[in-house]
A = this chain, B = another copy of it.
């Protein structure tokens, strides 16, 4: 893991960009008072679907808030084919198929499967390698939470025992295979649903909440569309992690 930039933000948070092989990411760690080294911080992985982190202003705001107010180390990476990472010819082909099907009003579930299943297959080992590297830093101590995209999060929660709790955002396509895998998820969950999300089926999301194998799981649903999650859910999410990671 190589740090490529570093700046101290006005809320005291240290923001560092890094690369790990071909994976670009950002790490936010809490500011600390002068004096003896603080205890290692628990870690939250923010698993956004894509987009270049610096333009994802809500993601950055959430990450800084979790670091500054709740004392978490927070990391985000660009998933394969997302953010600043190149898309493969296969990626471009599936995206072209998706645009065509949408314009023609044709069913898109199979195309989304062809987009998301390979993404999950590639992204999860990358998260695990990133986790190895992050947990080797002295300022990060675990335990570890995951917050973000559901499809990647399901697989990560199933295969990665170091993830102790997860917050999933229901506003994204979850392939059938991953929905079935949800029964194997047993860690505490906070499942965040936008009640009027234009692009996502509410009943599928409720069925998915029902399917998770976790004994402790909470659904938070708010009125409004895909991008309308109220800011107070950021605090609720941090308090959820406080209950399970601290």
A-to-B contact residues, CB < 8 Å = 195, 206, 209-210, 214-223, 230, 232, 235-236, 239, 243
Contact = CB atoms under 8 A, between A and B. Distances in A.
Contacts of A235: 239
Contacts of A214: 223
A220 B219 contact: yes
A222 B206 CA distance: 12
B232 A223 contact: no
Contacts of A216: 223, 230
Given A206-B206, A236-B236, A220 B220 contact: yes
A210 B195 contact: yes
Given A206-B206, A210-B195, A243-B232, A219 B217 contact: no
> Quick one: which of A215, A235, A236 has the most chain B CB within 10 A?
A236
Given A206-B206, A216-B230, A219-B222, 6 more contacts: A217-B222, A217-B223, A218-B220, A220-B220, A232-B243, A235-B239
A2 to B, nearest CB: 40
B221 A218 contact: yes
26 contacts: A195-B209, A195-B210, A195-B219, A206-B206, A209-B221, A214-B223, A215-B223, A216-B223, A216-B230, A217-B222, A217-B223, A218-B220, A218-B221, A218-B222, A218-B223, A218-B230, A219-B219, A219-B220, A219-B221, A219-B222, A220-B220, A221-B221, A232-B239, A232-B243, A235-B239, A236-B236
Nearest to A196: B210
Contacts of A236: 236
Contacts of A217: 222-223
A66 B219 CA distance: 23
Nearest to A214: B223
A232 B232 CA distance: 16
Contacts of A232: 239, 243
Contacts of A222: 217-219
Nearest to A210: B195
A217 B220 CA distance: 10
